[in-house]
């Protein structure tokens, strides 16, 4: 069955519209900077002497995760700031399913249950320095929270 050019144009317009509204994981402009493998992330953090920002998210279904992505993670301010960290994202594409790579981290840091979105600041060896989540105010509020947590590592 052949599809008409009008059908294809309509389909593309709908995909674009859903992405702009944050209803599709395609809207994640920052996805290339986030790693999804904990072993790789912690090895990189050790090699580069950086902290790890670990984002527990539900990119396809969690409304506050989508807001966090749009208001914080997709901004230039955050992307510039985040260069001093190794970014690790554990995505729960289904609220009932724990991704295999996320299970050990959930058990280690939360004893199995976490409210999304939750962002942990971790040392390169996996020590939890602190956590934050979505708060209104954009990247400035988030960066301030993370800076306060990161200062613990420096002993300030």
d(CA 59, CA 99): 13
Could you tell me the two tokens for 28?
């994640």
Kindly state which CATH superfamily the domain 29-154 is placed in. Glutaredoxin (3.40.30.10)
Domain regions of the chain by residue span: 29-154
Q: How far is CA 3 from the centre of its chain?
A: 37
Question: Which residues does 29 contact at the CB level (< 8 Å), separation at least 6?
Answer: 74
Per-residue model confidence (pLDDT) at position 111 = 80
**Among residues of the chain, what percentage have pLDDT more than 70?**
76
Q: Is the pLDDT of residue 130 over 90?
A: yes
Could you tell me the two tokens for 20?
């702009």
Higher pLDDT, 128 or 1: 128
Task: Give tens-digit pLDDT for 34-60.
Answer: 999 999 999 999 999 999 999 999 999
Report, as an integer, the average pLDDT of 59-83: 96
Task: Give tens-digit pLDDT for 6-22.
Answer: 433 333 343 334 444 44
Per-residue model confidence (pLDDT) at position 29 = 47
Query: Do 88 and 34 meet the contact criterion of CB atoms below 8 Å apart?
Result: yes
């Amino acid at each position: 069955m052949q599809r008409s050019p009008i059908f294809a144009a309509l389909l593309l317009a709908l995909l674009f519209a859903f992405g702009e509204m944050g209803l599709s994981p395609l809207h994640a402009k920052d996805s290339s900077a986030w790693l999804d493998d904990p072993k790789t992330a912690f090895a990189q953090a050790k090699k580069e002497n950086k902290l790890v920002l670990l984002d527990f998210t539900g990119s396809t279904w969690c409304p506050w995760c989508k807001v966090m992505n749009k208001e914080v993670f997709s901004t230039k301010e955050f992307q510039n700031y985040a260069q001093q960290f190794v970014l690790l994202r554990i995505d729960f594409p289904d609220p009932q399913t724990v991704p295999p790579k996320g299970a050990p981290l959930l058990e280690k840091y939360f004893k199995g249950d976490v409210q999304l979105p939750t962002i942990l600041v971790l040392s390169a060896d996996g020590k939890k320095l602190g956590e934050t989540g979505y708060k209104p105010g954009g990247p400035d509020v988030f960066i301030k929270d993370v800076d306060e947590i990161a200062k613990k590592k420096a002993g300030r």
